[in-house]
Chain A
Amino acid sequence: MSPSWFFGFDVILEVMFAVICLIVALFSFKIYKDTKFRSLKFFGFSFLLISLSYMIQSIFNFLIVSEFNQDVCRIIRVHSIHNFEALGIITHMFLMTLGLSILLYTTLKDKRLRTLWLLILISFAAVFFSKNNLYMFYLISTIYLAFISWHYILNHYLTKQNKTLLVAIAFLFLLFGNFHFLISVNHELFYAIGHILELFAYLFIMLNLYLVRRR
């Protein structure tokens, strides 16, 4: 899906996204440890899973274009590079779907765990029983990000603060980035544009974290 000129850049960007998500997750867990607010635990887990999904994506993207791929295929007993690529995509989809489901759950403000299970099971069923898994994954992610973005836009509308504005903008960039992945199935260029939009999104998230920590 990635255009050839973008090989390597995507790996670097995905590692960056993984690190930023991990920082947010660890920060959330740190506050959870001190306060025991339930929402922080779920929020931390969602960013941790998203971080892991980017990490897996970057590792597999790196291995696919690197010379190690044949050796790795032999070691993990995968018969061809296509199967190896599929393994990476499935793991990425699994972790990202789970992470986004939990993030959406935190915005719903519903304390019932069965709501979370419903979200997870429906999204997994839709993604993994679809004829075109990748397309359905991007479609589900786009829908979830649209709901999450709308929630953060409303949050900014009610609070009128710079920090909530940054989060709303960040999630709008993630939404548009994800939408480009959705249409990148047929057009390689959109895959690169999607990554660039996600880069802006995570820079806004980091800027927000900087402002949050400043006393």
Chain B
Amino acid sequence: MSRKRERVMIIHDILKAIEEKKGSARPTHILYKSNLSSQMLKEYLGDLIDKKFIEITKDKKNNKFYTMTDRGYKYLQDFHIIKNFMESYDLTE
């Protein structure tokens, strides 16, 4: 029941960082906006890919981008309901 930034909030911050770049952001931008260490961010991005919230895409110059999926947008849309429910029963991870 620690009061550190909860997982549900960190995921929200990462997705918000991608959303503000029109749904597709470079890893450096996400790192800057999410306020995480690069190791932690790597773990979270891996988790978000597993959850199908984001996917890796590449531009013509072969630069790596993280792009939001429909499921990621849905998470942001329902974020307050998810957060309220999980906080009510302290289900945050």
Contacts and interface: CB of A to CB of B under 8 A. Distances in A.
A79 interface: no
B10 interface: no
A14 to B, nearest CB: 23
Contacts of B50: 36
B69 to A, nearest CB: 12
Nearest to A211: B84
Interface centre among A31, A38, A166 (most CB of B within 10 A): A31
A163 B84 CA distance: 8
Interface centre among B7, B81, B88, B92 (most CB of A within 10 A): B88
User: Chain B interface secondary structure, helix, strand, loop or mixed?
Assistant: helix
A31 B85 contact: yes
B88 A167 contact: yes
Contact of A159 (B71, B87, B93): B87
Contacts of B88: 163-164, 166-167, 208, 212
Interface string A164-187: 101100000000000000000000
Contacts of A106: 89, 91
A152 interface: yes
Contact of B90 (A34, A35, A36, A152): A152
B89 A35 contact: no
A159 B88 CA distance: 9
Given A34-B82, A158-B1, A212-B81, A164 B87 contact: yes
Interface in A121-160: 151-152, 154-155, 158-159
Contacts of A7: none
A205 to B, nearest CB: 9
B58 interface: no
Interface string A100-132: 000000110100000000000000000000000
Contact of A40 (B1, B71, B86, B87): B86
A190 B80 CA distance: 40
B22 interface: no
Interface centre among A34, A35, A109, A215 (most CB of B within 10 A): A35
Contacts of A31: 78, 81-82, 85-86
24 contacts: A31-B78, A31-B85, A31-B86, A34-B71, A35-B51, A36-B50, A37-B7, A37-B8, A38-B93, A39-B86, A40-B91, A43-B91, A106-B91, A109-B1, A151-B1, A151-B90, A152-B89, A163-B87, A164-B88, A167-B88, A208-B88, A212-B81, A212-B85, A215-B81
Nearest first, the 10 closest Cβ-Cβ pairs linking A and B are: A212-B84, A39-B91, A155-B90, A163-B88, A212-B85, A36-B51, A167-B88, A31-B82, A208-B88, A43-B91
